[in-house]
Amino acid sequence: MLYLRHNHFKNTCVSHNITLEDFNPHLLRSTLLATKSNIMKKELIQDAELVSNYIKGNENALSILIQRHKQKIYSFIYSKVYDRDITEDVFQDTFIKVIKTLKLGKYNEEGKFLPWVMRIAHNLVIDHFRKNSRMPKFDNTGE
């Protein structure tokens, strides 16, 4: 990781002894982008590895995946349905579908676990609204 500290007395970057006159902001930007890319690749590799481990029978691997992505998935669902109970139902149904698909060996690993799960959640939200629009509304007033 790149750490640069400005020394106000010597006008240098202490960690690398680079004078500020020699400092290239484009180099720093590319270094930071490369670091971000490596972090993203590492997480994708970790997701792919966890999926593979789950398919091989490691139940804990799925728990890690759920824990890692639950906030994003839950927030996405809630942003569409605006109801906590429905959100929890759709979230649960999403991972039931994920588990079934993984167990059946129908998941095509391309390093895109989260987008795949988000698509499942999206489709289940659509299913929820379709189901509710067809169901008759009942008035519970007893009349």
CA distances (Å), 55 to each of 70, 71, 97, 104, in order? 20, 23, 14, 9
- Tell me: pLDDT of 84 over 80: yes
Higher pLDDT, 133 or 56: 56
- Tell me: pLDDT of 112 over 60: yes
- pTM score, whole prediction: 0.64
Mean pLDDT of the chain: 78
Q: What pLDDT was estimated at residue 75?
A: 98
What does the DSSP assignment read for 96-121? HHHHHHHHTT----SS-HHHHHHHHH
Banded pLDDT at 16 (limits 50, 70, 90): very low
Q: What pLDDT was estimated at residue 143?
A: 55
